[in-house]
A and B are shown apart, each in its own frame.
Chain A
Amino acid sequence: MNNPYFDLLMWARGPGFDIALTIMVGGILLRVVEILVLGRKRDLATAKGSPVGQGVKTIFTRSFPRKGLVPFAPITYIGGYIFHIGFAIAFLFLGAHIALIDGLLGLSWPAANRAIVESATALAVIALFALLYTRITDPVRRALSTFGDYLVWLLSLLPLVLGYVAVNKLFGDPTLMMALHILSAEALMVAFPFTKLMHAVTFLMARYYNGSIQGRKGAES
């Protein structure tokens, strides 16, 4: 109880987390509603294919690259996959995270062993740096990138690095590091609805719309 960072950790785990979760969930709902209320006009052209079926299918099929494109943007594709999969493993299969989700939703599943979670974390971090490298050096990506893109990069990096440091007690006070890890995750949560992190939700809509527009015409998507 003498650890000066204990209160910070407790705040991060308690009220801090509640605030972040509220902002994230409320924000996401708001953003999704904000999109849906714009609506879309009913398409009066007689459908040739299946708009709904293909919309749903495209949500899955668009997870794979179009043939022949990977060699033109290898870092973006490979880095992108490694980051997303690594982040998902670190987030979903660490015992402490599962316990947290169980507490919130009453859902749980077996944890992965620590070596897997830590390798996934390390790979995700390496992938993030590779993605940053191509963002800065590739003229197309550099021109497209805004402050928001770099912010999102940093917000994705911090929880991974701080989590790794805290769990392995690499440096700093472990209690402080754990508190910072949680706070960084909360920063990510708070920023989620108001940054490009929203793509993690709205890609479902975008892919559905794309597939349904093409599907109506009987065209591929």
Chain B
Amino acid sequence: MTATLERGLNALREQIDAPVASFFTSCVSCGLCAEACIFYRETEDPKYTPIHKLELMRRIWSNEFTLLGRLKSMVGLGRKVTEQDLKDWEELVYDSCTMCGRCTMVCPVGNDLAMMIRKMREGMSGSGHAPVELIGAAERHSDYGSPMGELHPALHAQIKHAETETGIPIEMNKEGADYLVILSAGEIRDYPEVIGAMAKIFKQAGITWTISDDGFEATNVGIQLGNRDVARTLVSKVVEAAEKLKVKGIISPECGHAYQALRWEGPNLIGRSYDFEVVHIIELLDRLRAEGKLKTKGKASGKITFHDPCQINRRGGINREPRNLLNMVADDFVETEDAGTMNWCCGGGGGVGANERAADLRFKAFNRKKRQFDAVGAEKIVTMCAYCHHTLEEQLELHGDEETEVIGLAEMIGEYLDDEA
């Protein structure tokens, strides 16, 4: 057995806990999880059945964590996991799963399949079987602080730009601010308008905020790759920046997995609870709305629909908030079929969007979203994750749609903010 195989298997073993064992024990092979999965539904290929994607982890559990399996192993029965198996499963675990969690919602016995995929990726990456793009991004992130390389100059330029646009000064590295704002690399590069929007909104609400040079990058490739060490390093940077500046909270930006990484996995990665709050930007905006501190003027005309990012709604519990906000600024807000908790994934999450090999599959998966958007005839799609935003734009174009506009919710609120209020 090679060292990497052994390392991968050990990483898998470490992931098996009581919930995982109860899930594997309970599976009745009913196949219902397949019906929930966008990759199965758009291809009808049985290999994309969620529980099948977990077969290698199931085998290890069965061989080593059950009485019967251990007895079988003793007499040489029970299928072992080989190097070839890991190679074969790489596509299933990384290319055809966005960890969207739809399967988790339908399994009749209650299996949290998405959580198990997240765990299985620890073993896959431990044995070196992960997409090169994610491995590369993890290396860049460790070396330069962002999966897109060195972003400091771009960040500073965008902040300067936002200051000029809004006339509101943005103080970097400000100790004692209410909130530390972090951003996803995608926002800094492609959707920097959100910075100006926040400046205006927070000024109106009387909130002080800052951005830190030490920890401004919210994305966390360690979560997508399935590498706890990388994930921990990246979360630590942000946590340390917040502690150094003594802020009351961190605002998690419009980025799905960044919210999972910092809000839910973070404390477990670093081994302690935070003594500051982590709040998603949309959660915070809705709170300000409820407190009467968010005032908008006018409404966007035309049909507008909303795309729920899986990690923020289904896996993050932020469901009503964006709808409350959207109703403030949209005249004709229509929901697509299955919107809300059971929304379909854009197909780009969980690292799938960065994975070249998955391009065709991603295109196919998006057919469903395209049909749903077409059915409501939306002129504009609003979302609350920069990566969904990017995927929606990319896929709409690939599907021949150059008309439909995509926009982030915070940016849109900024556009309609009542400056005189």
Q: Which of A139, A146, A211 contacts B110 (CB 8 A)?
A: A211
| B 305-328 to A, binary, CB cutoff 8 A, 1 in contact else 0 | 000000001111111000000000
**What are the residues of chain A within 8 A of B40 when measuring CB–CB?**
140
Q: Is the CB of A41 within 8 A of B26?
A: no
Chain A interface size, under 10 / 10 to 19 / 20 to 34 / 35 or more: 35 or more
Give the distance to chain B from A211, nearest Cβ to Cβ, in Å: 7
A contact face: mostly helix, strand, loop, or mixed:
helix
List B contacts of A206 (CB < 8 A): 19, 22-23, 25-26, 109-111
Whole-angstrom CA separation of A142 from B47 in the bound complex: 11
Q: In the complex, how many residues of chain B place their beta carbon closer than 8 angstroms to a beta carbon of chain A?
A: 60
Contact between chains at B110 and A213 (CB < 8 Å): no
Asked if A209 is at the interface of the complex by the 8 Å CB criterion, the answer is yes
Counting chain B CB atoms within 10 Å of each CB, which of A38, A135, A196 scores highest?
A38
B17 touches A39 (CB 8 A): yes
Q: B267 touching A202 by the CB < 8 A rule?
A: no
Q: Is the CB of B317 within 8 A of A218?
A: yes
- Is A73 a contact of B31 with CB atoms below 8 Å? yes
Rounded to whole Å, the gap between the CB of B169 and the closest CB of chain A is 32
Q: Is the CB of B31 within 8 A of A36?
A: no
Q: How far is the CB of A144 from chain B (nearest CB, A)?
A: 4
Shortest C-beta distance, A139 to chain B (Å), equals: 5
Q: Which of B26, B66, B319 touches A203 (beta carbons < 8 Å)? A: B26
Q: Which one of A62-70, A90-98, A179-187 is at the B interface?
A: A62-70
CB closest chain-B residue, reference A64: B108
B104 cross-chain contacts in A, Cβ below 8 A: 210, 214, 221
Report which residue of B21, B51, B68, B273 has the largest number of chain A beta carbons within 10 angstroms of its beta carbon: B21
Q: Mark B19-39, 1 if CB is under 8 A from A, else 0.
A: 111110111111110111000
The stretch from A3-11, A45-53, A106-114 touching chain B is A45-53
B28–chain A nearest beta-carbon distance, Å? 5
Q: Is the CB of A41 within 8 A of B109?
A: no
7 A-B residue contacts at CB 8 Å? A34-B66, A40-B17, A41-B17, A45-B264, A62-B109, A205-B19, A210-B110
